[in-house]
Amino acid sequence: MESGDAARPGSGQATGAPPPRLLLLPLLPLLLGRGLRVAAAASASSSGAAAEDSSAMEELATEKEAEESHRQDSVSLLTFILLLTLTILTIWLFKHRRVRFLHETGLAMIYGLIVGVILRYGIPATSGRDKSLSCTQEDRAFSTLLVNVSGKFFEYTLKGEISPGKINSVEQNDMLRKVTFDPEVFFNILLPPIIFHAGYSLKKRHFFRNLGSILAYAFLGTAVSCFIIGNLMYGVVKLMKIMGQLSDKFYYTDCLFFGAIISATDPVTVLAIFNELHADVDLYALLFGESVLNDAVAIVLSSSIVAYQPAGLNTHAFDAAAFFKSVGIFLGIFSGSFTMGAVTGVVTALVTKFTKLHCFPLLETALFFLMSWSTFLLAEACGFTGVVAVLFCGITQAHYTYNNLSVESRSRTKQLFEVLHFLAENFIFSYMGLALFTFQKHVFSPIFIIGAFVAIFLGRAAHIYPLSFFLNLGRRHKIGWNFQHMMMFSGLRGAMAFALAIRDTASYARQMMFTTTLLIVFFTVWIIGGGTTPMLSWLNIRVGVDPDQDPPPNNDSFQVLQGDGPDSARGNRTKQESAWIFRLWYSFDHNYLKPILTHSGPPLTTTLPAWCGLLARCLTSPQVYDNQEPLREEDSDFILTEGDLTLTYGDSTVTANGSSSSHTASTSLEGSRRTKSSSEEVLERDLGMGDQKVSSRGTRLVFPLEDNA
């Protein structure tokens, strides 16, 4: 049986030969080794083929996921573009129908809310739940993780902390994740054009007329509002703790931080209505100036509060050394940011003055745009605040660089930043409406929300009324009660408060702040913004005012700011109302900075000492000597100085005392003051009472008048 079985494989074997099994025995180890190798090779071949198939499938799946992610990115961006398009069309309809109860930003928020509801409840989840991996050996979170999955490394980035109670409710809808933007997008892309446009479009004439009051409201008022709101909210937090409504830590520094970010006013709705109705220019200047500087102060103040680090174990207790360190940080950041913005503007002015870029308007506009935007990023990279830097860069660009630009570039830069400001602002407000339903970490606390509304009202009142009282003690032209009530009413919250709140939502306290800030913005834009027009009528504030003309002195609703009696001459109004701080440096600016940085101003050879003659000739623009074209200073403002001025009309020079002579220079200064003569009054009347624009071949200035009051 065995021999038969063994002979079965070999059919051509001779009779009498040894059994095949015996022949195979010496070869058994070799055959076994070869068989094992063949089997191993076959197994390796099959496993290699399987690995290749698996790798191909993984690559295919990865490509499919990337394609799907790209499609969702396109859909999310398309959603916002459609939101802006719908907002623009509705704005046109509202303007056509003269509807003023709802501003464009309120419309953008409503459309954002509608789309947020659709995305939240109308689109099913499109991704499976991720598996939770435990890393109990680590004591901190990492910003980036490299995970080894079957020999392949995958990179994961930190999205934020999730409380244990919400671990099972993490949003799995990929579309909702896509429309949730990184907060840095707001700071680095959307905020710069908004803040720069505020500085670049600043009406300096009315701004500097009320500069002292604006600085007081912006700096001192914001600090007062911050500490009042912070302390009141700390009391609310203590009440929540007693009532058991506080589920996590909420420190005093968190309350102060909330007071800082919520003190950033953004009365965009009120100012838009003011601009459309041509409301009183001084009230507009006070509100606009306060909101522009207030944003800068609020962001620096919030950074200083975050930097507050007391020594010892209790990092949230009061420490005098840490407090003064925070004050020093505030002053250092603000002054450094201010300097960086001003220097960037000066560099741009010098480049546009001493090059022939005006021959190529496209290159000129592109350089202006890049230099202005880079100011924000440069300040952030150096540890300063980009908002402050880009604000003062815009003011410097408007004051100096604008005069060096070609006519085409002036129009382009104005329109470019106006469009960017409009789109960025409406994008942010649309995202606010969207975030109410798409943001995954909302913490709604009715007690905290109600307390925040009360604290904001009291903080704004303490901001406006006491400061106005003290300011009126030193102002010749008082800030009337109707103006104070309107400023109190106009303390809306907007884009800056939202951007500061969404920048850090890692902790329980910050999440509650963000949710409350969002609701406050909704309320102030919709309710307070919609009541602006009735409030103007109720407070009897003038509308239909030409911003370039002073109102008649007998207008009752403006008399509180116009003068103390009919003997106040309108011709010397600018001198009386311009802040003394500004008047101190204006002469230096006109005599030295303007000639150095622009094509306007008196020749430096007439203002610098004789030993600086070579430097003066190098820095003075050739247009000043040749007088072959009008000196470009159309964006300047009329500010009265302490010296008499001389204007050139063609080749004839007319001085403040009425004399005329042949002269080739465009402007000159006389140091002595003269009393007003009859010829001066005639000249003053011909020039529009000393406060109107003068078109001449020289620098546009205003004749100084004696203060008879």
pLDDT value, residue 56: 74
Asked if 631 contacts 623 with a C-beta cutoff of 8 angstroms, the reply is yes
Q: CA geometry: angle at 616 spanning 615 and 621, to 5°?
A: 115
% the chain with pLDDT above 70? 68
Asked if 105 contacts 432 with a C-beta cutoff of 8 angstroms, the reply is no
242 in the Ramachandran plot: left (φ > 0), alpha (ψ -120 to 50) or beta?
A: alpha
Q: What are 384's two structure tokens?
A: 């300063």
Q: Which residue from 272, 232, 225, 254 is spatially nearest to 94, judged by alpha carbons?
A: 272
Q: CA geometry: angle at 358 spanning 357 and 359, to 5°?
A: 85
Q: What are 642's two structure tokens?
A: 């302490």
pTM of structure: 0.74
Residue 454's H or E segment, with its range, is helix 446-474
Q: Which residue from 268, 356, 175, 288 is spatially nearest to 547, judged by alpha carbons?
A: 288
Mean pLDDT is lowest, of 455-464, 557-566, 579-588, for 557-566
d(CA 99, CA 101): 6
Backbone angles phi, psi at 624, to 5 degrees: -65, -40
- Please enumerate in sequence order all residues whose Cβ is within 8 A of that of 268, keeping only pairs 6 or more positions apart, or say none: 103, 105, 425, 492, 494, 495
Find where tokens 């009042």 sit: 228
pLDDT value, residue 221: 94
Q: What pLDDT digit, counting tens, does each position of 337-381 carry?
A: 999 999 999 999 999 998 889 899 999 999 999 999 999 999 999
- Please enumerate in sequence order all residues whose Cβ is within 8 A of that of 25, keeping only pairs 6 or more positions apart, or say none: none
Asked if 514 contacts 440 with a C-beta cutoff of 8 angstroms, the reply is no
Q: What are 291's two structure tokens?
A: 């909101």
Q: Which residue from 72, 482, 570, 14 is spatially nearest to 279, judged by alpha carbons?
A: 482
Q: Which residue from 635, 618, 637 is spatially nearest to 692, judged by alpha carbons?
A: 637
d(CA 65, CA 59): 10
Mean pLDDT computed over 417-433 = 92
Q: pLDDT band for position 47 (50/70/90)?
A: low
Q: What are 146's two structure tokens?
A: 């490299």
pLDDT of residue 467 exceeding 90, the answer is yes
Q: Where are the beta strands (DSSP E) in 172-240?
A: none
CB atoms within 10 A of CB 524: 23
Mean pLDDT computed over 394-414 = 93
pLDDT value, residue 610: 82
Beta strand 152-157 with 660-662 is unpaired
Mean pLDDT computed over 285-299 = 90
pLDDT value, residue 152: 72
Q: Which residue from 302, 259, 485 is spatially nearest to 388, judged by alpha carbons?
A: 302
pLDDT of residue 290 exceeding 60, the answer is yes
% the chain with pLDDT above 90? 32
Q: Sort 531 into a burial class: Cβ within 10 Å, 0-12 / 13-18 / 19+.
A: middle
Residue type, position 444, single letter: F
d(CA 606, CA 591): 9
Q: Angle at which helices 495-502 and 407-438 pack, to 10 degrees?
A: 60
Q: Write the secondary structure of 38-96 as one string of H (helix), E (strand) and C (coil).
A: HHHHHHHHHHHHHHHHHHHHHHHHHHHHHHHHHHHHHHHHHHHHHHHHHHHHHHHHHHH
d(CA 292, CA 219): 11
Find where tokens 């399987």 sit: 50
pLDDT value, residue 144: 75
Q: pLDDT band for position 132 (50/70/90)?
A: low
Give me the long-range contacts of 273-278 (CB less than 8 A, separation at least 24): 273/100, 273/103, 273/529, 273/532, 273/533, 273/536, 274/532, 276/100, 277/533, 277/536, 277/543, 277/544, 278/543, 278/544, 278/545, 278/546, 278/547
Q: What pLDDT digit, counting tens, does each position of 238-288 carry?
A: 999 999 989 888 999 999 999 999 999 887 778 887 887 888 888 888 999
Torsion sign (Cα): 237, 243, 245, 250: positive
Q: pLDDT band for position 630 (50/70/90)?
A: very low
Mean pLDDT is lowest, of 52-66, 80-94, 348-362, 626-640, for 626-640
pLDDT value, residue 611: 85
d(CA 450, CA 144): 39
Residue type, position 437, single letter: F
pLDDT value, residue 167: 56
Average pLDDT of the chain?
Answer: 75
Q: Which residue from 132, 108, 272, 125 is spatially nearest to 190, judged by alpha carbons?
A: 108
pLDDT value, residue 602: 81
Query: The sheet that has 667-670: what strands, in order across it?
Result: 660-662, 652-655, 644-649, 667-670
Mean pLDDT computed over 157-174 = 60
| DSSP type of residue 189 | I
d(CA 683, CA 681): 5
Q: What pLDDT digit, counting tens, does each position of 537-582 carry?
A: 899 888 876 655 554 443 333 333 333 443 444 444 444 445 566 6
Residue 509 to residues 148, 174, 322, 351, 516: CA-CA distances in angstroms?
35, 27, 22, 48, 11
Asked if 158 contacts 144 with a C-beta cutoff of 8 angstroms, the reply is yes
User: Which is higher by pLDDT, 541 or 24?
Assistant: 541
Q: Which residue from 259, 274, 219 is spatially nearest to 497, judged by alpha carbons?
A: 259
Q: What pLDDT digit, counting tens, does each position of 496-526 carry?
A: 899 899 988 888 999 999 999 999 999 988 8
Task: For residue 551, give the 3-state DSSP assignment.
Answer: coil
pLDDT of residue 706 exceeding 70, the answer is no
Q: What are 100's two structure tokens?
A: 């003023």
Q: What are 532's two structure tokens?
A: 């602006």
Find where tokens 């402050």 sit: 388
User: Which is higher by pLDDT, 136 or 598?
Assistant: 598
Residue ranges in 355-406 assigned as alpha helix (H):
361-381, 386-396, 402-404
